[in-house]
């Protein structure tokens, strides 16, 4: 060891000065009053980490921000929100209606914790009768309406669409096969044999006659069901008078199918051609909103929503914010019926009229048939919320039982379950599923394509090591630096982070035109963000609403070996506040005889055969297995469709087709010599050498 000389003295290291905590609260908000206009606009409140915590609209930005700058006379929710605000951002618009639409757009994009959030924002399915083919096809459609044809909907669920299409096939014998299948048919398919398709693909029906069936189906979906029934009734009677009983039976069967379609609609109100019904019910600090869809005078289904909202929100406030967000990316009907008055009903109607470019009426019916519709929807909302609260209570009981059985320090708020799937090491995929107090949280699921190149085929331990390392290395990094700005390693889209720059002075106000912002694509699809029940923890109410990003409990599908891998990963990364448990299948892989392996226990243990907690753990493990198998099958299907010729530079579709036609398969091409390759049309001597080198160099490697 080299000792320092006597005249050498090292200056003592000065301790690093701690960065001052960023200022928050009313004093920060008051700084913006000097530059704010009195025009309509939208404002965003951000916390010290740069996360948007609230999005609001205002008729006068200056007046609204002035109310926040006061240090008193706030509700508990607003007081917490103001206290957490470190900076604000503003956008001015021309009218308050545009501000309302932009507010709904930004809420869906940033999902602030102090706003009412529409948690299930899946697109609704439609029925499409495509007209881009001589024999139009009937099919279920989601997404952009970029295919030529007539769209009917929305329907509340894919099941409702499938049932309706099934009955329409029986009534009108329309084809549902794709155009590619249609062109390849040489004889009628099974649907024709069971009287659900008229088989225009093989000429069993003339195109003119088929066009008549399409016209009748279109009229029926437009609401002219009574006229269509009368038409078939007349045709049946005429066929019967001609003693053509076979044809009369066909018309009779169509009438039966049409009766099934209309009977499935359950409620078909008189005098309502196009309307949506929203009914809200609150209980236990939660809100359920039932939405019924009526189109062409028929009920096309309903769906229950459970928006995330602070307990202090009144039911009318929740309903108003929900409706504004609901129609951000959906067509608006001419009539919207509400169960409760909303604070800005006229403003909301004006904003939706601006969006739809036609008049939209918002009403709270007090008498007549429309009142019974709303009451029926309200009863459904009450029943759905009751079921939801019962399921939540049951889930909490199971989580408490899991804590007791495994000896956990606290009730787990987020459980992550890991599994791998492969076939002898090929197309290996790791999977992570997530569960919490409200069940499975599917928007948090992740799949991991195994990247380790030198992995031994079927090495489950190495796969689990890679998956856990990638997952928790990212968590540790985000805990140190905030959410990562790059794309995640998993197959999910990264959430666009909010700005983390703390401005020294109030930022300039964006005075761009409101209409381009209000209707621009500012949304980002995200799934549910479950609400945590207050029974689980004593955290404050606003913290309850945030579903944790880090797990309390990790379950591994495997025994002591997989458990040791998980413990090794956690030790290497310094993860010390996560409980981990390995679940090994029992003898003969019998369900109910699982062995639980946990760190610090010398021997595995089992749960009682009829213990509800055991069934709960089995459901978690089976869900992880299902998700892993699905990811593996998707990857395997993609690999089966891959062709090694696609990887050769300079080989396009024409040359690939010529090679496959000449040799019969890609494997035969890989075995061919240079002279054989040169004999193929379009393959030069240079290209033949490139193909030969590609296969033989890869074989050597």
Domain with residue 466: its CATH number is 3.30.420.340
CB 562 within 8 A of CB 464: yes
d(CA 671, CA 695): 8
Instruction: Please give the DSSP secondary-structure letter assigned to residue 536.
Output: T
Residue 662: the pLDDT is 83
pLDDT, tens digit, 9 for 90 and up, residues 344-403: 899 999 999 988 888 999 999 988 778 888 998 999 999 888 888 888 888 889 999 999
Same domain, 338 and 412: no
User: Does residue 167 share a domain with residue 239?
Assistant: yes
The pLDDT of residue 500: 32
Residue range 163-190: average pLDDT? Answer: 86
Q: Answer yes or no: do 186 and 96 share one domain.
A: no
Instruction: Tell me the pLDDT band of 40, cut-offs 50, 70 and 90.
Output: very high
Is 399 within a domain? no
Q: Are residues 582 and 480 in the same domain?
A: yes
pLDDT confidence of residue 234: 75
User: What is d(CA 678, CA 416) in angstroms, rounded to the nearest whole number?
Assistant: 56
User: Residues 534, 634: one domain?
Assistant: yes
Tokens of 26: 């009313």
pTM across the whole model? 0.65
CB 260 within 8 A of CB 286: no
* pLDDT given for residue 260 in this prediction: 59
pLDDT higher than 70, residue 80: yes
In a domain, 402, yes or no: no
CATH number (domain holding residue 351): 3.30.420.10
Is the same domain home to 655 and 620? no
Rounded to 10 degrees, what is the CA torsion of 494, 496, 497, 503?
160
By C-alpha distance, which of 550, 542, 543, 497 is closest to 524? 497
The arrangement of strands across the sheet holding 149-152 comes to 137-141, 126-130, 149-152
Q: Do both 106 and 250 map to the same domain?
A: no
- Please provide the average confidence, as pLDDT, over all residues in the chain: 79
- Both 367 and 303 in a single domain? yes
Is 473 a member of any domain?
yes
Tell me how far apart the alpha carbons of residues 658 and 661 are, in angstroms, rounded to a whole number.
Answer: 5
The verdict on 606 and 670 lying in the same domain is: no
Residue 647 banded pLDDT, cuts 50, 70, 90: confident
Structural domain span for residue 605: 408-540+548-638
pLDDT level of residue 494 (50, 70, 90 thresholds): very low
How many independent structural domains does the chain possess?
5
Residues 612 and 488 in one domain: yes
Residues 309, 215 within the same domain? no
Asked if residue 582 and residue 518 are part of one domain, the reply reads yes
Q: Give pLDDT, residue 240.
A: 80
Confidence at 507, pLDDT banded by 50, 70, 90: very low
Backbone angles phi, psi at 346, to 5 degrees: -65, -40
d(CA 520, CA 450): 38
């Amino acid at each position: 060891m080299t000792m320092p000389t006597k005249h050498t003295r090292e200056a003592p290291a000065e301790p690093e000065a701690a960065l001052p905590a960023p200022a928050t609260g009313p004093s920060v908000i008051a700084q913006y009053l000097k530059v704010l206009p009195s025009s309509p606009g939208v404002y965003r409140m951000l916390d010290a980490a740069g996360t948007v915590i609230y999005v609001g609209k205002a008729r006068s930005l200056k007046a609204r921000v002035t109310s926040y700058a006061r240090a008193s006379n706030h509700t508990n929710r607003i007081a917490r929100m103001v206290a957490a605000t470190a900076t604000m951002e503003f956008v001015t618009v021309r009218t308050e209606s545009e501000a309302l639409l932009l507010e709904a757009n930004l809420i869906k994009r940033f999902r602030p914790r102090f706003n009412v959030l529409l948690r299930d924002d899946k697109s609704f399915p439609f029925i499409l009768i495509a007209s881009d083919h001589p024999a139009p096809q009937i099919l279920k459609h989601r997404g952009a309406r970029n295919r030529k044809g007539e769209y009917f909907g929305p329907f509340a669920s894919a099941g409702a669409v499938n049932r309706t299409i099934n009955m329409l096939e029986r009534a009108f014998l329309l084809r549902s096969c794709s155009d590619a299948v249609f062109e390849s048919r040489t004889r009628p398919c099974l649907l024709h044999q069971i009287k659900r398709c008229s088989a225009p693909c093989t000429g069993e029906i003339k195109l003119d006659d088929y066009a008549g069936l399409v016209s009748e189906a279109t009229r029926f979906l437009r609401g002219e069901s009574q006229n269509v029934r009368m038409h078939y009734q007349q045709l049946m009677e005429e066929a019967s008078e001609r003693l053509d009983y076979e044809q009369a039976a066909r018309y009779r069967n169509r009438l039966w199918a049409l009766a099934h379609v209309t009977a499935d609609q359950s409620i078909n109100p008189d005098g309502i051609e196009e309307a949506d019904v929203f009914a809200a019910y609150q209980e236990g600090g939660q809100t359920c909103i039932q939405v019924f869809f009526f189109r062409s005078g028929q009920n096309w289904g309903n769906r229950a929503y459970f928006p995330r909202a602070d307990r202090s929100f009144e039911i009318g406030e929740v309903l108003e914010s929900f409706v504004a967000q609901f129609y951000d990316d959906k067509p608006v009907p001419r009539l919207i019926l509400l169960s409760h008055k909303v604070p800005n009903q006229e403003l909301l109607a004006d904003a939706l009229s601006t969006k739809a470019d036609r008049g939209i009426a918002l009403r709270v019916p007090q008498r007549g048939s429309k009142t019974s519709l709303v009451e029926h929807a309200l009863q459904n909302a009450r029943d759905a919320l009751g079921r939801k609260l019962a399921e939540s209570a049951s889930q909490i009981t199971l989580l408490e039982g899991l804590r007791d059985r495994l000896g956990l320090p606290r009730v787990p708020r987020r459980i992550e379950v890991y599994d791998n799937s492969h076939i002898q090491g090929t197309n290996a995929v790791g999977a992570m599923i997530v569960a919490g107090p409200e069940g499975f949280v599917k928007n948090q699921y992740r799949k991991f394509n195994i990247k380790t190149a030198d992995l031994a085929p079927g090495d489950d331990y190495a796969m689990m090591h890679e998956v856990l390392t990638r997952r928790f290395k990212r968590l540790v990094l985000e805990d140190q630096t905030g959410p990562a700005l790059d794309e995640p390693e998993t197959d999910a889209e990264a959430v666009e982070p909010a700005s983390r720059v703390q401005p020294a002075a109030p930022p300039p106000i964006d005075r761009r035109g409101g209409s381009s912002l209000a209707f621009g694509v500012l949304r980002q699809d995200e799934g549910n963000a479950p609400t945590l029940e207050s029974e689980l923890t004593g955290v404050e109410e606003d913290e309850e609403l945030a579903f944790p990003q880090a797990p309390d409990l990790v379950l591994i599908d495997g025994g002591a070996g997989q458990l040791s891998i998980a413990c090794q990963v956690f030790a290497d990364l310094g993860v010390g506040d996560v409980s981990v448990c390995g679940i090994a299948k029992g003898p003969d892989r019998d369900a109910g005889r699982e062995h639980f392996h946990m760190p610090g226990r010398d021997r595995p243990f089992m749960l009682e055969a009829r213990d509800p907690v055991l069934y709960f753990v089995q459901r978690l493990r089976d869900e992880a297995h299902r998700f892993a198998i699905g990811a593996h099958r998707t990857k395997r299907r993609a690999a089966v469709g891959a062709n090694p010729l696609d990887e050769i530079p300079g080989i396009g579709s024409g040359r690939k087709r010529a090679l496959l036609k000449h040799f019969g398969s890609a494997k035969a091409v890989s075995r061919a010599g240079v002279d054989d390759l040169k004999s193929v049309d379009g393959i030069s001597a240079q290209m033949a050498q490139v193909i030969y080198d590609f296969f033989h160099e890869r074989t050597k490697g």
